[in-house]
Amino acid sequence: MLRHRLGAAVLAAVLPLQPLAGCASTTSVSPERAEMFSAEPVSAGRHVLAVLGMSCPKCISNVDLQLKRLPGVASATVDMKHGTVTVEVAGDARPSARDFASAVADAGFTLSSIDGAPAGANP
């Protein structure tokens, strides 16, 4: 009997997470967020990505890793003070803003804007 009570206590502790999970579906966890950015290739040169949630020096290695995997990304430099990643794009194969958003989401963070243009804006 006590064992069942313990199990019920754990379930009671876990179940309140479900509403939170619902909240998450409208934010960065959802791939739809990335699709709010343009699928057009960005221009060559420097682009500044505003990224949310970069809370520690090593966690942001994930951002470097994922962005540098994109074709055309020559470098990615993280600035934790301002919460930005400066990306240098070069060559013929250039990523889109949506690619950037997807890579940032894969890294576990949220892309809020590119060159000052937020998700949903037409650059």
Partner 1 sequence: MSRAALRVCLHVSLHAAVLAPLAATACAFAQESPNIASATAPSPGVLIPRAQARVTLFDGGQTLLAEDLRAEYGIARNLSAFAELPLYQGFLDAPRPSDGEFGLGALELGVEYRVLQQDLDAIDTVRGALLAGAALPTATDGFGRQSFDPFVGAAINAIFGRHGLNAAARYSFVTGDTDLPLFIGDDGEDVIGADLGYVFRLAPAEYTEVREAAWYLTLELNTQWTAGGDREVLLSPGLLIEAPDYAIEAGVQLPLSQRGNDRPEVDLGFFAGIRLIY
Strand order in the sheet with 45-52: 73-79, 84-89, 45-52, 110-114, 117-118
Among 99, 100, 110, 119, binds partner 1 (CB under 8 A): 110
Three-class secondary structure of residue 75 per DSSP: strand
Please choose, out of 35-43, 76-84, 89-97, 113-121, the segment that lies near partner 1 by the rule CB under 8 A: 76-84
Q: Is 79 near partner 1 (CB under 8 A)? A: yes
Residue partners of 106: CB distance under 8 A and separation at least 6: 66
Q: Is 116 near partner 1 (CB under 8 A)? A: no
Which positions from 8 through 67 interact with partner 1, judged by CB under 8 A? 9-10, 13-14, 17-18, 20-21, 23-24, 27-29, 31, 50-62, 65-66
Residue partners of 90: CB distance under 8 A and separation at least 6: 44, 72, 74
Question: Between residues 6 and 74, which has the closer beta carbon with respect to partner 1?
Answer: 6
Among 41, 44, 88, 108, binds partner 1 (CB under 8 A): 108
Contact 46, 86 (CB under 8 A): yes
Q: Is 90 near partner 1 (CB under 8 A)? A: no
Nearest of 111, 106, 96 to residue 33 by alpha carbon: 111
Residues of this chain that interact with partner 1 (CB under 8 A) are 2-3, 6-7, 9-10, 13-14, 17-18, 20-21, 23-24, 27-29, 31, 50-62, 65-66, 78-83, 105-110
